[in-house]
A and B are shown apart, each in its own frame.
Chain A
Amino acid sequence: MSLIASWIGNIPDFAVPFALAALGLIIIERSGVLALGAEGLMLVGAMSGIGASLMTDGSTVAALIMAMIAAAVVSQLFALMVLIMRINQVIAGLALVFFCQGLTGLCGTLMNWTSRPVSGLSDLSLWPLSELPVLGKLFIQDPVVYLTPIIFLLVVLVLNRTVLGLRLRAVGENPQAADAAGIPVLAYRCAAIAAGSALIGLAGAYISVLSTKMWLADMVGGRGWIAVALVIFARWSPWKALAGAVLFGCIEALIPQMAASGIRLPQYFVFMTPYAVTLGVMIWVAVASRDNSSQPGALGEPFIREERR
């Protein structure tokens, strides 16, 4: 019984990075830019979060903000590649991931940030709820966990209930029409990349600063790619992405529990499960729904206003 309780208590820890990264990706992709760079931006967020925490004597809030800023700044390289240089968005996204992997590996080692522990944030317990049997541990979490649904709510409100969100979606669906209506397409896409990447950076910093509490090279371990798959699975809808993130959180939280419960399974096969499940989900989505109506209409296409030929 206590195993199940501690499993449930661990779920948010694993679900939050998926959720925030998927939400950031949704913001970017709703503006019509195919974003494959989540893995790299999460690494940037993870490393700069730890870096800021170590250099400011453990201010976690400053670390999280630094991580968001760093990811947003690096994402402007991607914006330059796809918006100005009109590089194929798949190539640009892959190049960004490899760039960030190299950059974070280099910086982390040179600055000597690897494996140095940070303090993280202490847990907040929501009093009456935290006394619940079994589910109680779900309400003893760090503040970012409680913040995540609020961020989701805000993003959904902005996307669906404001002029800003309407314009952003218009830019993603039909940039030519949006341009004709006087919306600055490239500015919107650039802002979407920066805002979405800040959330992806926060997701990365959550892993390093709050979960693992240290930096290790390549520590994101494919979670960024799983987030990309999650967005396809969620058909670009934030709430479905949150549900998917919780599902993956449940699976990942199971891994340490299995070891603790004494079930003897080959550990590396257990480590495979998130990736195998992602593959399974991709196949299931392909079999179940063949309509692409919820996909942003101009996803992956560069916007070129008019060209004199």
Chain B
Amino acid sequence: MFDATNFQPLLARRYTLEVRQQMAWYWQALVIALALLVGLLISAAILVVAGVPAGELLNEFVILTLFDAQSLRAVLFQAAPLIMVGLAGCVAFRARFWNLGLEGQMIWGAIGATAISLFEIGPPSMRLPLMLLSAVVCGLIWALAPVLLKLHLKVNEIISTLMLNYIALNFLLHLVYGDWKDPRDNFPYSPQYRVFERLPDVFDGLSLAIVLATLVAFLVLWFTNVSRAGLYLRFVDNSPGVARAVGVPVNRVILGTVLLSGALAGLAGFMITAGQEGRLTHSFYVGYGFSGILIAFLARNQPIAATVVALLVATLFVAGRSLQVFYQIPFSMVQLIQAILVICVASSEFFIRHRIRRIQGGQS
């Protein structure tokens, strides 16, 4: 009798791959948690090979960063721009737009904010809001070209946003090594912002940036889950053809969403320059573009989840900096850990969607 299994390789004869009907959410959560654990174990192994004593790892990552008030403040401080880029990733991916230009948009946001400070536009009391506004507008403008090119000419946005990153980066270098260089010394950064141009602490060392970030997170939540545009966006994501047929302004929704993503990235640039550095530097953006994509991916484009993931990534950033200081581990370790986590979690999807089952019965 004809038996299809005879034509399959040896292993497949007794084991088969099936598509699962559905997996309960708690099993899904368990699989993802296991994937994260595997990723962290691999990362820990790499760190040990790189020369960090195994016993110090737990100390460095968990105890020192989360149970120490000073480090916790550093994590929150670090989280604000990461929440912004994470949200920027979330909204762009909801519109099925691969916005890899987060770094370029951040750079323009920071340039926009610094321009207001440098040319002393507006009275001191209005300076910070003006800088914020300028950053948002600059980030948004830098996202305009790729989305228009994608909508009208179908130009691949992965390439176009990345190329615009390199252009923005070179423009930043042109400024900080050129006209905008602090005349007082020879380093590639702009003059220090004045006191009223920096994000103040609201209480006990907690920066205004994190308050602002939380506020924006709720606004984005409103945008994705409550607003009409958010509803359209889910419609477009599920079925662009049907959405177009029933009269959803698909192109305008995508355009608006991507511009919002650029604006959020610009805001992240503002938060770093006005909140952390206090000036425009030549490398402030390093690591944020990928982190934004990672946060959005791990949070499955959910704004609240993105905020939580951003806090974890901020922990990683802070721990990475102390590893750099104490063990001379380069900061690219942080990026490597992030990439390993993405690979592990993306692979876990396979186990959520499929199951490997042993075929019963006497076929062998």
Instruction: List residues of A whose CB falls within 8 A of some B CB.
Output: 36, 77, 81, 84-88, 90-92, 94-95, 98-99, 101-106, 109-110, 217, 221-222, 225, 228-229, 232, 266, 268-269, 271-272, 275-276, 278-279, 282-283, 286-287, 290, 307-309
Contact = CB atoms under 8 A, between A and B. Distances in A.
Contacts of B334: 102
Identify the 9 closest CB pairs spanning chains A and B, nearest first: A105-B332, A102-B336, A268-B174, A102-B335, A99-B339, A286-B153, A109-B330, A98-B339, A275-B166
Contact of A91 (B19, B50, B297, B350): B297
Interface string B317-334: 000000000001111111
Contacts of A229: 156, 159, 163
Contacts of A307: 17-19
8 contacts: A81-B346, A91-B346, A99-B343, A103-B336, A106-B330, A225-B162, A228-B159, A309-B18
B160 A279 contact: yes
A88 B163 CA distance: 22
Interface string B152-165: 01111011101110
Nearest to B331: A105
- Which interface residue of B159, B329, B350 has the most chain A CB atoms within 10 A? B159
B226 to A, nearest CB: 28
A222 B153 contact: no
B160 A105 contact: no
Nearest to A104: B332
A77 B173 CA distance: 35
Contacts of B98: 90
B92 interface: no
A87 B155 contact: no
A22 to B, nearest CB: 13
Given A110-B50, A272-B170, A286 B339 contact: no
Contact of B346 (A92, A228, A278, A279): A92
B304 interface: no
A268 B177 contact: yes
Contact of B16 (A276, A290, A308): A308
B62 interface: no
Contacts of B339: 95, 98-99, 101-102
Do most interface residues of chain A lie in helix, strand or loop, or is the interface mixed?
A: helix
Nearest to A278: B163
B167 interface: yes
Contacts of A110: 50-51, 329-330
B19 A101 contact: no
B334 to A, nearest CB: 8
Interface in B11-36: 16-19
Interface in B274-308: 290, 293, 297
A41 B156 CA distance: 21
A46 to B, nearest CB: 14
Contact of A286 (B155, B336, B337): B155
Contact of A87 (B158, B162, B329, B346): B346
A222 B50 contact: no
Given A91-B297, A98-B335, A272-B167, A86 B330 contact: no
B338 interface: yes
B116 interface: no
Nearest to B297: A91
Given A99-B343, A287-B153, A279 B170 contact: no
B149 interface: yes
Contacts of A268: 170-171, 173-174, 177-178
A266 B347 CA distance: 46
B157 to A, nearest CB: 10
Nearest to B347: A85
Contacts of B171: 268, 272
Given A81-B343, A105-B332, 15 more contacts: A91-B346, A95-B342, A99-B339, A99-B343, A101-B335, A102-B338, A106-B50, A222-B166, A232-B159, A272-B170, A275-B170, A276-B167, A279-B160, A286-B153, A309-B19
Given A276-B167, A279-B163, A87 B149 contact: no
